[in-house]
Amino acid sequence: MTTFSQRLRTANDAEWRAAVEHRFVDELLAGTVDDGVLAHYLVQDYQFCDAFTMLLGQATASAPDLAARLPLARQLGFFAADENTYFIDSFDALSVSEGDRVRPALTQATRAFDQVMRDAVESRSYACVLAVLVVAEWLYLDWATRPDATTPRATRPEHVGWIDLHRGEAFETWVRWLTGQLDAHEPTDATERARVEELFARAVTCERAFFDAAYTP
Ligand SMILES: Cc1ncc(CN)c(N)n1
């Protein structure tokens, strides 16, 4: 039987594929992404991390019980530690200025994604928060496990580090758990269901736009 999360993904297949097969991913895996493009992308993504941290915190708060709260809290801790270290190391390697690390000018794509996450947080709905989390994590797992990612030509830590953060057993288990949560909390109420579908679709569009924006100065 097709699960709720699979149906949501299929309903957004064109945009999802456009993100997974994006030029940015091609170049990252090949190790040929321009330093300026990668720096611009990472500077914006560090700002994305702010609302994403809120989203994980809201998921922890909106989860129905301790059994669901614990994996979310663990991921929040990992995100605040290992992923943050990757950003700092990469900013150093790419000579990103202090201003761009702390308060860069935001692209339209970053602002739009930020709004989607804040809308999900404000809903306080577990299913709505999960919808955005599922897109942000599952779509990244998808590109990081593309067939050409098995033996990526990339060797620099800034490239390999970003790929490795989004693949491997722990990340796959996390994404499987997230999609399972969304399936288990598929809304029965039509209005709530429509909100979940809308947030999921907006998030997928934002993912593609976020990669596009890496090439826009
Ligand atoms: C834009 C975006 N989307 C998803 C992820 C993976 N959490 C990310 N770091 N940045």
Which residue's CA is the nearest one to ligand 1's atom 4?
136
Query: What pLDDT score was predicted for residue 85?
Result: 93
Q: How far, in Å, is the centroid of ligand 1 from the Cα of 69?
A: 21
Total domains in the chain come to 1
Query: What pLDDT score was predicted for residue 157?
Result: 95
Q: How far apart are the first and last CA of the chain?
A: 45
The answer to whether the beta carbons of residues 154 and 166 sit under 8 Å apart is no
The answer to whether the beta carbons of residues 179 and 134 sit under 8 Å apart is yes
Q: Name the band, by pLDDT with cuts 50, 70 and 90, for residue 214.
A: very high
The residues, any chain, with a CB within 8 Å of residue 93's CB and separated by 6 or more, are: 156, 157, 158
Structure tokens at 102: 């702390």
Query: What pLDDT score was predicted for residue 1?
Result: 83
The answer to whether the beta carbons of residues 127 and 187 sit under 8 Å apart is yes
pLDDT of 196 strictly over 80:
yes
Is the C-beta atom of 140 inside 6 A of ligand 1?
yes
pLDDT of 217 strictly over 90:
no
Is the C-beta atom of 127 inside 6 A of ligand 1?
no
Is the C-beta atom of 45 inside 6 A of ligand 1?
yes
Ligand 1 atom nearest residue 45's Cα: 10
Q: How far, in Å, is the centroid of ligand 1 from the Cα of 49?
A: 8
Query: What pLDDT score was predicted for residue 156?
Result: 95
Query: By residue range, what is the domain housing residue 57?
Result: 4-213
**DSSP helix/strand/coil, 150:** coil
Taking the model in full, what pTM does it have?
0.97
Would you say how long the chain is, in residues?
A: 217
Q: How far, in Å, is the centroid of ligand 1 from the Cα of 117?
A: 11
Q: How far, in Å, is the centroid of ligand 1 from the Cα of 185?
A: 23
Tens of pLDDT, residues 145-186: 999 888 878 899 999 999 999 999 999 999 999 999 999 999
pLDDT of 100 strictly over 90:
yes
Query: What pLDDT score was predicted for residue 152?
Result: 77
Which residue's CA is the nearest one to ligand 1's atom 9?
45
Is the C-beta atom of 46 inside 6 A of ligand 1?
no
Q: Name the band, by pLDDT with cuts 50, 70 and 90, for residue 86.
A: very high
Query: What pLDDT score was predicted for residue 213?
Result: 98
Average pLDDT on 125-145 reads: 98
ipTM computed for the complex: 0.98
Domain harbouring 136, CATH code: 1.20.910.10
Which residue's CA is the nearest one to ligand 1's atom 5?
136
> How far, in Å, CA of 154 to CA of 143, rounded?
14
Ligand 1 atom nearest residue 206's Cα: 1
Across all residues in the chain, what is the average pLDDT?
A: 96
Is the C-beta atom of 210 inside 6 A of ligand 1?
yes
